[in-house]
A and B are shown apart, each in its own frame.
Chain A
Amino acid sequence: MRPQYRINGCLHEVVPKRQGHTRRIGIDGRDLDVAQVAADQHRGTLIVAGHRYAYHVAQDDGTLYIHLGGRHFEVGIVDEFQAAGRHDADGDGDLRAPMPGVVEAIYVAVGDRVAAGQPMLLIESMKLQTEIHAPVAGTVSAINVEVGGSFQRNALLVAVAAASEEHP
């Protein structure tokens, strides 16, 4: 087992090598000595390769939220089993939510032909209304939301089947 963590989209391998008051760990192939003095479950001091850092940490599901050196970090705990099964099946015409929000208006219906850039939805998030435009020219193949309905970030809102090259 080789634990992996994701920071800003980059994967890092962190391997425990020796247990004890001072632990030895390997980070991306380099060995470092680490000592932790926890004040409580959320804060403490970490000594890494002789440098002292005051830290705060909290965990929720697969994410560790860390404050260290005056900055915030979000660290994803990579689940090796899930990571192996994930694949990206998005088509060019898939319109995903740029942010969580609520659908204000839908300007198109399934089967409608749309031009690239044509307004399809009006969404609202935190009092900001945004028009969502068709990413490609084609036919609306699915609308997964309804007016007044809410959605999370990255939810598939509308799918457009791209118009074929040999347009009649």
Chain B
Amino acid sequence: MSSCSGFAVAITGEITMFRKVLIANRGEIALRVLRALRDLQVLAVAIYHHDDRHSPVVALADEAVEIVGDSPTAAYLDTAQILAVCAELGVDAVHPGYGFLSENAGFARALAAAGITFIGPSPDVIDLMGDKITSRDFVTSLGVPVPPSITLAADTPQFVERAAELGFPLVVKASAGGGGKGMSIVRGVGELAGTLRVAASEAQKYFGDNRVYVERYFASARHIEVQVLGDGRNVVHLGERDCSVQRRFQKIVEESPAPGLSPAKREEICAAAVDIARAAHYASAGTVEFLYTDSGEFFFLEMNTRIQVEHPVTEMVTGIDLVAAQIRIAAGEPLALAQSDIAMTGHAIECRICAEDAFAGFLPETGRVLYVSAPGGDGVRFDSGLYQGQRVTTAFDPMLAKLIVHGVDREQALARSRQALAGLVILGVKTNLDYLGALLDHPVICAGAADTSFVGSHSAALTVPVPTQAQLDAVLALALCSDPTMKLLGAATPDLYTTMGHWRN
């Protein structure tokens, strides 16, 4: 499957597609949005920090404008600069991608005030669903179950005692957070005060809001999320994704359909997601996240009001271009899909490729990308913004690219994923590619039995694969052939080698 263009066209007379859209993001998602804009024949404006000036989206966009900031991240978060670029270039709409300004209601409102469309749900819906507390109250009112929890400002004196009353383990999150930032597990009362201090600091720093939310943590549960599309009146779901394989609450491997979910349970969870989105008059692509316990209960976790990193998994099984759908809905097109139009075909798996030492606690790695070679083959999609010469620094998230693989069934998707991972070459910075390879060979993953504790509880079994002697010999032989000093020596003294036959020192 090389493209996903199955979104049904239903252009009524009065609706006009945007003429020019600004992509307020970087890396692989900026390129992904660019591809959707090209398909819709919409002009694309890229913004970039100096560090990203050589990135492919800058070269490929119709226009590209440099933005500045105290840090590269600050530049991409600078609403005023982005608004100025929009005004100057006559931009009709902004696609925020994920992260950065994607769930910032203030940004969406500022755009609206300037007559520019934010490609995403309305600011009120972002406020409602983006806050863990208001969204929880909202879904509870709809009769959807939520996990036991409390929320308080982190400096409230009885906080520790009240949190401890929920029982351990607990998960501490920034109330306004998302994407796994500012989350940690607390297993006993002794760790609670220290964890709250860090969580409050992170919450304040990333979200400007120090409220902390403490919830009962389910050690053995799956993370199941449902992709929805709404136009403000109608809502459909595009099935679910299982994103249980996580480290530090950030997903590593995602797949659709979720293994081990009965058809009845799938129906129930997807219907709950549709109910939530419909009640919120949701108009865009969105994701409703659930915890699914081994006793068959499910609890609402949160709703992400943006396009998600793992959206291609759903695109691969449904054939629907979610980013194009977001843009069409933002332009005012009604949803042209009924639930019965959506069919899931086969199985898709995404692996997130990150600059990190996955075998040593997932510590971030830095370096310079010296060479990249993407794998091909049936059902293989590589979403990447990588380029030769790119500096991988700590300024941004360590995710570099995504490998998404489709197969007729889970077994074929796994086999193709393993092959594609082995064929993907990234030289110059350490990545988790070999770790992902080991992960997909693990019996628990092969059986589709991983829950959210998998990475933590099976990390011992996932160690650096020991190379065979033959592999090691080949690597060392290649090292000698490629060592610049030895190449120089070899070129300078060819006769010496041949006449001596043996090199001594």
Interface string of A93-105 (1 = CB under 8 A from B): 0000011111011
Listed stretches B4-12, B276-284, B419-427, B453-461; interface member: B419-427
Known contacts A60-B368, A71-B471, A77-B479, A17 near B202 by CB under 8 Å: no
Cβ contact within 8 Å between B474 and A46: yes
* CB of B476 closer than 8 Å to a CB of A: yes
Known contacts A65-B427, A69-B471, A70-B423, A57 near B478 by CB under 8 Å: yes
Shortest Cβ distance from residue A100 to the other chain B in the assembled complex, whole angstroms: 5
CA separation between A21 and B373, bound complex, in Å?
28
Cβ contact within 8 Å between B503 and A129: no
* CB of B263 closer than 8 Å to a CB of A: no
Known contacts A27-B473, A56-B373, A72-B426, A46 near B198 by CB under 8 Å: no
Residues in B with CB closer than 8 Å to A102 are 394
From A49, A65, A100, give the contact of B473 (CB < 8 A). Answer: A49
Listed stretches A119-127, A137-145, A156-164; interface member: A119-127
Cβ contact within 8 Å between A46 and B477: yes
From B194, B373, B393, B503, give the contact of A131 (CB < 8 A). Answer: B194
CA separation between A30 and B476, bound complex, in Å?
12
Shortest Cβ distance from residue A68 to the other chain B in the assembled complex, whole angstroms: 6
Cβ contact within 8 Å between A70 and B478: no
Cβ contact within 8 Å between B370 and A71: no
Cβ contact within 8 Å between A36 and B481: yes
Q: Which of B421-470 contact A (CB under 8 A)?
A: 421-423, 425-428, 430-431, 433-434, 437, 464-465, 467, 470
From B206, B394, B484, B490, give the contact of A19 (CB < 8 A). Answer: B490
- Dominant secondary structure at the A interface: strand
Shortest Cβ distance from residue B14 to the other chain A in the assembled complex, whole angstroms: 43
Cβ contact within 8 Å between B465 and A71: yes
Cβ contact within 8 Å between B394 and A125: yes
From B373, B464, B483, B501, give the contact of A3 (CB < 8 A). Answer: B483
* CB of B494 closer than 8 Å to a CB of A: yes
Number of interface residues of A (CB under 8 A): 65
Cβ contact within 8 Å between A67 and B425: yes
Residues in B with CB closer than 8 Å to A46 are 474, 477-478, 481
Shortest Cβ distance from residue A72 to the other chain B in the assembled complex, whole angstroms: 6
Q: Which of B369-426 contact A (CB under 8 A)?
A: 370-371, 373, 393-394, 396-398, 421-423, 425-426
* CB of A14 closer than 8 Å to a CB of B: yes
Shortest Cβ distance from residue B31 to the other chain A in the assembled complex, whole angstroms: 21
CA separation between A66 and B425, bound complex, in Å?
9
Residues in A with CB closer than 8 Å to B80 are none
* CB of A128 closer than 8 Å to a CB of B: yes
Known contacts A27-B473, A48-B470, A131-B194, A67 near B427 by CB under 8 Å: yes
7 smallest A-B Cβ distances: which pairs? A70-B422, A19-B497, A58-B370, A65-B427, A58-B427, A126-B364, A67-B425
